[in-house]
Amino acid sequence: MKFFIMLLMVIGCVFASEVKVDGAYSKMLGNPFKAKLEVKTQDIAVVSSPVKNLELVVETNREREFGFYNPTFTLNSSDCSNVLRTFLSEDFNIVATSSNSATCEIVRGKVILTYVREQERWMNQLSDIVVELTVRVKSTVNGTVKEFTADSKMNKELNKTGENYGLSIRAVWNPDYSNVEQNIQKIAEHSIYDILNKNLNGASR
Amino acid sequence: MKNLFFLVLLPFLFTGCMTVTANYNPEYNSLEKNDYISKVNKSSVSVDYSDFVLKRSPTSLSGSALTYEIHNELFSKVSFDFFSQYFNNVKYNQKSSDYYSKVELIDFGVSFYSLGDGSKVYIKIKYSFYDKNKELFSKVYETTQENNIILRPFAFTKKESSLELIQKATFLMFETQIKPDILNAL
């Protein structure tokens, strides 16, 4: 029995939790006006890059001590193409046999976790999550090859600033039940979409 | 006798009679606004910018001495924010644009909670959308929103939260009520 518990603890420490970038959040960024007003005339094939497990660098505001270890996260570097697919489907028809092609790969990633309580190692309440990503994209559209590597840094608020009734205490409460992995996924998908929007926009023209 | 007269007059001196103007503040709807959408490049939208003022007093007992004034400019600017989420070319008062959007404030109302620091806002507008010069649709929309604030530290009056609510309610009305109608008309 003791051995079994030990084994469970070892397994828990060794395996990092995986962040799935499957395009669930980037699908919500579609533009309904574009679907109505613009006709898709060109085809493109989204090519997945080779599958590679990427370990994210994790930084926290807490010192490493007994009973606290930095959480570890892994990411599939080729999952970037899921976001690329939803982005390109706004302008192109996605056809696997097309002569136009695009591919995307996450080169490196870093997660910065800010704990509310720096000293209390048993209270894992987070006040902010920052995700830094480096993405490499290559696209070939009508014979024009475009290749670039871009960085992004995005926080839990998706880099938005603004007021939400200031310091008020409200009767309506919208708790965010999503866990750390889901939050990292949401931030990662938004930042990849943002990179593509800034660098690849107008690829169809 | 003179002192008694002033003592009777005193409460009336602090009734808080004043005019509150609801000005546009980009901070109020920047959290709701989505900047990550891939935008429409080929079509342009123009937003009507006409300015007139409407004045109303809160219907609740507290705050009834206040007079709220809203410039129609606020609605033009919020609709500009709404369209710039989806379109790259959004301008004011440009007749040569592909689409033309016009908002007119018809009526509004503000009331305060008797308990707590919250407020309730009612807005009624007339919205018209044109394809060049042809009117696609014209409709009257109304919305009622509450902010459910129980306590707001460091705020001396309830009016700040109501100003924020007026703008948030308008932006929400564009996203939930007006957007589906525009998409249907296109």
> What average pLDDT does this structure show over A47-76?
85
- Does ipTM come in above 0.85? no
> What average pLDDT does this structure show over A164-183?
79
Contact B167, B74 (CB under 8 A): yes
pLDDT of residue B50: 84
CA distance B91 to B46: 5
Q: How high is the mean pLDDT of chain A?
A: 84
Verify whether the Cβ–Cβ distance B29 to A164 is below 8 Å: no
Point out the residues of chain B with pLDDT beneath 50. Answer: none
Place of tokens 């205490």: A169
DSSP B10-66: HHHHTS--EEEEE---HHHHTTT----SPPEEEEEEEE-----EEEE--SSSTTTTE
> What average pLDDT does this structure show over A167-195?
85
CB nearest B161 (choices: A168, A193, A194): A168
- Which chain A residues are within 8 Å of B184, Cβ to Cβ? none
CA distance B59 to B67: 11
Indicate whether A5 pLDDT > 80. Answer: no
CA distance B161 to A56: 41
Cα A104 to Cα A91, A107, B102, B132: the distances in Å are: 17, 9, 42, 40
Q: What is the pTM of this model?
A: 0.84
Mutate to test the interface with B, among A157, A163, A189 (most CBs of B within 10 A): A163
Nearest partner of B42 among A45, A190, A95, A41, judged by Cα? A41
CB nearest B38 (choices: A163, A169, A201): A201
Is the model more confident about A14 or about B40? Answer: B40
Indicate whether A126 pLDDT > 80. Answer: yes
The DSSP secondary-structure symbol of A96 reads: T
Q: Report residue A127 CA to chain centroid gap.
A: 18
